[in-house]
Structure 1
Amino acid sequence: MKLESLRVELRPRTPWEAVELGTALVRRNAAAIWIPWLLLVAPVFVAVNLAALAAGRIWIAWLAMWWLKPLFDRIPLFVLSRAVFGETPGVRDTLAAQRSWGWRAMRGHLSWRRISLVRALALPVDLLEGADPARLRERRRVLGDAVRGQGMLLTLVCLLFVAALSLSMLSLALLFVPWEFLPESVRATWSLLTVQPPPWAQFALHAVAWIATSAIEPFYVGAGFGLYLNRRTRIEAWDVEIALRRMRTRLASTATALLLAVAVASTLPLPSQAAPRTPTAQDDDRAPATRSDRASVPRSAAAMHLSDVFGEARVDDPGFDRAVEQAYRDPLLRPKRTQSHWQARQRERHAPPPDLAFPALAKIVAFIGEFGLWLLLLALLVLLAATAKRWLPWLRGGLVARTSPAPVEVADAALPDVLPEDIAAAARRLWREGRPRRALALLYRASVEAMAARAAVMLVPGATESECLRASRRMPDPQDRDAFARVVRVWQYAAYAQRLPGQEEFDGLLDTLAQRFGWAR
């Protein structure tokens, strides 16, 4: 690993600073991450949803796309692991690498480790180190145990961001609805998404959720990669190693220059080797030099020459003093640690000042402020004890296991095989006799037969409400489809929730069905 080519400043960081480093790397390489992501994930998303819709089980698409997320997470991790060394891969290189890179580690991430809450920490270890399984388990323990809590919080925060983005995109459509139609539009949207949603609504809801996931997932992987870099920096002292390598480079260049200067100085002639000077008359007037004086001349001249080459050494150089002071301030040379702890202190109780207008009221307020939470808890317990007769039976009934009612089918009407000739009159008679559920069953069964005749479909015995609703879409008249959907909804409320319609609602429903399906006489 070429640590000297890293494009980030390596230093020991706190876990959340490391998370910020990872998200900054994602923002810097956004195009190199999201373009391959969309090119690879979008076709898979469309294919999985079409297959699930064809099978009538949209939940299969939700489960499949969630389960395959570790497979897609290889894209941002591949880009970041190269970009951090200044070698950002292109779109073609990233897509080509997905055919062979990291498949060995996917066996664990798509099986027993899929529900791990610290997947962002384990992915860099498994995909970038590629050691044997025993060593990988040890590496995951060493690198991940110290920041496991931050990794779980990171997963939770990213899930909340996905939920917020999904709700924001769903709410964005309501901004274009006029204010007077907003309540009805909200109810219609909720009914469309929860009560027998059509295939296009199911696909749109899944698309909104996956768009939000695609926006957040690369940041999740990048944050885990930042935690991975920070843990390796702390454990393996990458920052110290990089500093030593840079120091070695500087010393090597300085030593080369020093050797070159010595070589140049050795080639220059010294004054003792210079040609003899012709004596002049002025020299004769001087006193003859002693032997020791003549010997000191060439040494002093050579010293002056070397001083010109290397410069004069100064012990009191201020630059040298500043460098020494800066070195001693280096936290790696003189590490310091600050610890703090709680220590009880003596409380001094002061009497209320004598100049208060209402000292008794001040004592009451002080007592409430000091013991207010305990008083509130006491009041809550008293309130619960006083109202126990109301909520205790409900609590006991809620603890009893209740079996969900079986789905009501077409044949669940307890009616004869042949319907009466005057269906509207028979339904009104049953309603007046106090048998509303039987009256609604008669309307529902008669509506199903009328729908099957107009839609030209053959229903299987025991067809459920959802199957009947899907078959009713073949009726050519939209008003007939609306009337049938209305009677199905009223029948479901009565069968499942025991919510019977009122007299006016029943009469209106009966008149509408009689008019649409030819029961009126």
Structure 2
Amino acid sequence: MRIDQLNVVLRARSSWEAMELGTALARRQWRAAWGAWLLASAPVFLLANALAWWLGAGFGWAWLLLWWCKPAFERVVLYVLSRGVFGEPVTAWQALRAQPGWQVAGFWGYLGWRRFSAVRNVCLPVNLLEGTDAAHRGQRRRAVLSAAAGPSMLLTVLCMGFEAVLVIGALTAVFMFVPVELLSDSWRAAWELVRQDTPAWAKFGMNLLLWLAASVMGPFHVGAGFGLYLNRRTQMEAWDVEISFRRLRERLQQAMPLLLLVVLFALPVATVPVHAQQAHAHDDAGAADEERAEEASDDDEEEPPAIDPADTPAGIFGDVPVDTAGFRQAVQRAYEDPLQRPTRSISEWEPRKKDDDEEAKRKERERLKREADEQSAKQMSGGAAKIAAMVAEWGLWLLLGIVVVALLLTARRWLPWLSGSARRKAPAAPAVSEDSIVLPEVVPPDVATRARALWARGMPRQALALLYRASVGTVVERTGVALPPGATEAQVLRASRRMPDARDRDLFAAIVRMWQYAAYGNRLPDHADFETLADALQAQYRWPA
């Protein structure tokens, strides 16, 4: 792979940043990534579930087959992301067609003994993108996982959790918006059938939800793992540094002709001062040699100093032949002998100068004065602190005394209230009493008159119950629907929708609403509202007076 063709900014990232980079790559190529996943997984899903439907069983095995083949679908998405990150975008169909000829040697293990690996999202790029042999693949996986195993396993667990959340949310969405109590009888029967003996269409729907959830999270899982892989390669092989050097080389290669022209034009100009400096140096050296020659001639012209004849070898040894060269060497060795020229160090005490004594005394006086000032400042600050603490203490005691005196002076006002509140008992809650609704076995013909009498006697719930019961009878009579014993208000409302007259339906809905408020919410209507509804029911349903 040529890392100079990468179209992402490579740098050493944390594991979370690397996962975010991978998901960003998946989002950038979302058409190809999710399209490749669907093209690869949809045939397997349809074939497995169609076979299970034809056999009448085996939907669980169909889901297990789809789950087991997930590495094959992830392989297609990885092909899309890897080609896109190196500047070779491919479509979903091209990625699917390229699978038979793309690196299969290190892949079959993930459909076999490595299927349960929790670090597949990082190891799959190692096997498929690096193209190494089996002996080196294990070493590469261990090197890449040395700092990415934990984030890789955590990524797998998070994606599994998101898939479970999507499936559970889809299953509960229907019953969240449509309660079971409001479903029709046919839907209730279907729900009971699903719970007791699950039909094939329900099992197929469950497998469909599982496949859709895996399709939503699959490209994100592959992209995040690919981001971890790129981050580890950057950390291990310094891809970011290598890319910087390669780009620097490209810039230098582009600017090389200009640099050569600058060097060619600047070289003659630069050599002129050098030659001038060399000529000037030769002139200076010649002048120095001339000066030294003149000084030597002057020295030669001077007369050597006179030598005492007694110091010559003839004056010392007389006419005896002496080896003067050996004599000179012996004299030199004698002078080099440390015993002939001993050295020693001598220390002497010298009195200090008077000015130094005065300066030291002045510095000492200044130091003492400074210490005295600091000590006095500390004492003053300590005294001020003590005074402030004493004032605060006496102020608090004074405030406490004022509070005590105020309490004593106002005791006749608050003491009775305090003593009374201590003995006051909470009032007992009134007992909840519910009047039992007793209705006649047969609804009387003058329903409205009997209901008004019950309302006048102080039994409003019985009056509303009588009106509701008589209205239910009218609904049964006008629709011909046989209601089961103990039918709920919802069932009766659904039956009332079959009445042809809209006024009949509205009045029945009104009496049901008023009855529910009174029976379940303890909210009784006003007397005027009750009379109005009773008159309307009597006139519309043709009850005798």
TM-score (norm: length of structure 2): 0.47
Instruction: Determine which structure has more spread, i.e. the larger CA radius of gyration.
Output: 2
TM-score (norm: length of structure 1): 0.49
